Structure 1
Amino acid sequence: MPDREGSAVHKKLYRIYYTTYYDSEHEEVKRKLKEKYGVEPADIKSSVLPEFRFLELPIAKGGLEKEISELVSSIIGSKYVKVDWIDTGV
Protein backbone atom coordinates (compact mmCIF):
# COMPACT_ATOMS: atom_id res chain seq x y z
CA MET A 1 0.00 0.00 0.00
CA PRO A 2 1.54 3.36 -1.00
CA ASP A 3 1.96 6.06 1.61
CA ARG A 4 0.36 9.51 1.27
CA GLU A 5 2.97 10.72 -1.22
CA GLY A 6 2.48 7.59 -3.35
CA SER A 7 6.01 6.30 -2.74
CA ALA A 8 7.12 2.74 -1.95
CA VAL A 9 5.50 0.64 0.74
CA HIS A 10 6.24 1.63 4.33
CA LYS A 11 8.45 -1.04 5.94
CA LYS A 12 9.40 -1.99 9.47
CA LEU A 13 12.22 -4.48 9.79
CA TYR A 14 15.49 -5.43 11.43
CA ARG A 15 18.78 -5.35 9.58
CA ILE A 16 21.29 -7.81 10.98
CA TYR A 17 25.00 -7.60 10.15
CA TYR A 18 27.69 -10.11 11.12
CA THR A 19 30.69 -11.99 9.78
CA THR A 20 31.15 -15.73 9.46
CA TYR A 21 33.23 -17.81 7.08
CA TYR A 22 30.92 -20.79 7.52
CA ASP A 23 27.81 -21.15 5.38
CA SER A 24 26.50 -23.72 7.89
CA GLU A 25 26.49 -21.09 10.66
CA HIS A 26 24.78 -18.59 8.38
CA GLU A 27 22.10 -21.12 7.45
CA GLU A 28 21.61 -21.94 11.15
CA VAL A 29 21.12 -18.22 11.92
CA LYS A 30 18.45 -17.96 9.22
CA ARG A 31 16.75 -21.16 10.43
CA LYS A 32 16.69 -20.04 14.08
CA LEU A 33 15.37 -16.57 13.20
CA LYS A 34 12.58 -18.06 11.11
CA GLU A 35 11.77 -20.59 13.84
CA LYS A 36 11.68 -17.95 16.59
CA TYR A 37 9.91 -15.10 14.78
CA GLY A 38 7.85 -16.96 12.16
CA VAL A 39 9.14 -14.97 9.18
CA GLU A 40 11.74 -15.73 6.52
CA PRO A 41 14.80 -13.47 6.73
CA ALA A 42 15.91 -11.95 3.42
CA ASP A 43 19.53 -12.83 2.66
CA ILE A 44 21.50 -10.02 0.99
CA LYS A 45 24.88 -11.21 -0.28
CA SER A 46 28.04 -9.13 -0.36
CA SER A 47 29.81 -9.19 -3.71
CA VAL A 48 33.00 -7.87 -2.10
CA LEU A 49 33.37 -9.91 1.11
CA PRO A 50 31.49 -13.22 1.09
CA GLU A 51 32.04 -13.65 4.84
CA PHE A 52 30.08 -10.44 5.56
CA ARG A 53 26.46 -11.43 6.14
CA PHE A 54 23.47 -9.12 5.96
CA LEU A 55 19.91 -10.19 6.71
CA GLU A 56 16.62 -8.32 6.77
CA LEU A 57 13.98 -9.64 9.16
CA PRO A 58 10.51 -8.17 8.49
CA ILE A 59 9.02 -7.74 11.96
CA ALA A 60 6.78 -4.76 12.75
CA LYS A 61 7.55 -4.76 16.49
CA GLY A 62 10.54 -2.67 17.59
CA GLY A 63 12.76 -3.22 20.62
CA LEU A 64 14.11 -6.68 19.77
CA GLU A 65 17.64 -5.61 18.86
CA LYS A 66 19.34 -7.10 21.93
CA GLU A 67 17.37 -10.35 21.74
CA ILE A 68 18.17 -10.84 18.04
CA SER A 69 21.83 -9.92 18.56
CA GLU A 70 22.19 -12.44 21.40
CA LEU A 71 20.57 -15.19 19.33
CA VAL A 72 22.90 -14.59 16.38
CA SER A 73 25.95 -14.28 18.66
CA SER A 74 25.17 -17.60 20.33
CA ILE A 75 25.22 -19.34 16.94
CA ILE A 76 28.28 -17.73 15.36
CA GLY A 77 30.33 -17.47 18.58
CA SER A 78 31.03 -13.75 18.20
CA LYS A 79 29.83 -10.64 20.00
CA TYR A 80 30.34 -8.57 16.84
CA VAL A 81 26.75 -8.54 15.64
CA LYS A 82 24.99 -5.32 14.63
CA VAL A 83 21.20 -5.14 14.66
CA ASP A 84 19.31 -2.05 13.47
CA TRP A 85 15.57 -1.42 13.71
CA ILE A 86 14.36 0.27 10.53
CA ASP A 87 11.03 2.09 10.25
CA THR A 88 10.74 3.74 6.84
CA GLY A 89 7.54 5.51 7.84
CA VAL A 90 9.22 7.89 10.26
Structure 2
Amino acid sequence: MDFDFSEQPTVGTVILLDEQQYELVGVEPYRRRDGRKTELLVWATQCANCQSPFEVKTPLRTNGFSRRCAACRKPGKPVQGKRGRKVKVAMVEA
Protein backbone atom coordinates (compact mmCIF):
# COMPACT_ATOMS: atom_id res chain seq x y z
CA MET A 1 0.00 0.00 0.00
CA ASP A 2 1.75 3.10 -1.24
CA PHE A 3 0.77 6.65 -0.33
CA ASP A 4 1.96 9.43 -2.61
CA PHE A 5 0.48 12.79 -1.69
CA SER A 6 1.08 15.24 -4.54
CA GLU A 7 0.36 18.06 -2.08
CA GLN A 8 0.61 18.22 1.68
CA PRO A 9 -2.73 17.04 3.15
CA THR A 10 -4.46 19.35 5.61
CA VAL A 11 -4.24 18.76 9.35
CA GLY A 12 -7.26 16.67 10.32
CA THR A 13 -7.08 14.38 7.27
CA VAL A 14 -7.91 10.80 8.29
CA ILE A 15 -6.64 7.58 6.71
CA LEU A 16 -8.27 4.26 7.62
CA LEU A 17 -6.30 1.01 7.32
CA ASP A 18 -8.89 -1.64 8.10
CA GLU A 19 -10.32 -0.35 11.39
CA GLN A 20 -7.15 1.53 12.40
CA GLN A 21 -7.51 5.31 12.06
CA TYR A 22 -4.59 7.69 11.39
CA GLU A 23 -5.27 11.41 11.83
CA LEU A 24 -2.83 14.00 10.55
CA VAL A 25 -2.02 16.13 13.60
CA GLY A 26 0.91 18.17 12.34
CA VAL A 27 3.80 18.76 9.99
CA GLU A 28 7.38 19.23 11.12
CA PRO A 29 10.52 20.37 9.31
CA TYR A 30 13.15 17.74 8.52
CA ARG A 31 16.63 17.83 7.01
CA ARG A 32 17.49 14.84 4.82
CA ARG A 33 20.89 13.15 4.78
CA ASP A 34 21.74 14.97 1.55
CA GLY A 35 21.14 18.28 3.36
CA ARG A 36 17.88 19.20 1.62
CA LYS A 37 15.05 20.56 3.73
CA THR A 38 11.69 18.77 3.63
CA GLU A 39 8.75 18.10 5.93
CA LEU A 40 7.41 15.04 7.75
CA LEU A 41 3.73 14.38 8.31
CA VAL A 42 2.85 13.48 11.92
CA TRP A 43 -0.05 11.02 12.28
CA ALA A 44 -1.80 10.02 15.54
CA THR A 45 -3.18 6.50 15.86
CA GLN A 46 -3.67 3.64 18.31
CA CYS A 47 -1.62 0.44 18.39
CA ALA A 48 -3.29 -2.49 16.60
CA ASN A 49 -2.29 -4.78 19.49
CA CYS A 50 -2.65 -2.85 22.77
CA GLN A 51 -4.66 0.23 21.64
CA SER A 52 -2.09 2.63 23.18
CA PRO A 53 -1.96 5.99 21.41
CA PHE A 54 1.25 6.73 19.48
CA GLU A 55 2.50 8.89 16.62
CA VAL A 56 3.91 7.92 13.23
CA LYS A 57 6.01 10.25 11.07
CA THR A 58 6.04 9.85 7.29
CA PRO A 59 7.25 11.78 4.27
CA LEU A 60 4.73 12.85 1.58
CA ARG A 61 5.51 9.60 -0.23
CA THR A 62 5.61 6.38 1.81
CA ASN A 63 4.97 2.69 1.35
CA GLY A 64 3.11 2.25 4.62
CA PHE A 65 2.45 3.19 8.22
CA SER A 66 3.54 1.55 11.46
CA ARG A 67 0.56 -0.36 12.81
CA ARG A 68 2.01 -1.05 16.28
CA CYS A 69 3.56 1.08 19.05
CA ALA A 70 7.23 0.73 20.04
CA ALA A 71 6.39 -1.74 22.85
CA CYS A 72 4.45 -4.09 20.51
CA ARG A 73 6.65 -3.63 17.43
CA LYS A 74 7.16 -6.76 15.27
CA PRO A 75 8.88 -5.76 12.01
CA GLY A 76 7.77 -7.78 8.98
CA LYS A 77 4.94 -9.54 10.82
CA PRO A 78 1.44 -8.53 9.70
CA VAL A 79 -1.13 -7.38 12.23
CA GLN A 80 -2.95 -10.46 13.56
CA GLY A 81 -5.84 -11.64 11.40
CA LYS A 82 -4.80 -9.61 8.34
CA ARG A 83 -2.46 -12.12 6.65
CA GLY A 84 -3.34 -13.30 3.15
CA ARG A 85 -5.76 -10.53 2.25
CA LYS A 86 -5.70 -6.95 1.13
CA VAL A 87 -5.92 -4.17 3.69
CA LYS A 88 -8.90 -1.86 3.21
CA VAL A 89 -7.73 1.72 2.75
CA ALA A 90 -9.86 4.88 2.85
CA MET A 91 -8.98 8.57 3.11
CA VAL A 92 -11.18 11.34 4.48
CA GLU A 93 -10.06 14.91 3.74
CA ALA A 94 -10.43 17.40 6.57
Common fold by TM > 0.5: no
TM-score, normalisation: structure 2: 0.31
Q: Report which structure shows greater RCO (CA 8 Å, sep ≥6).
A: 1
TM-score, normalisation: structure 1: 0.32
> Per residue, is there more strand in 1 or in 2?
2
> Per residue, is there more helix in 1 or in 2?
1
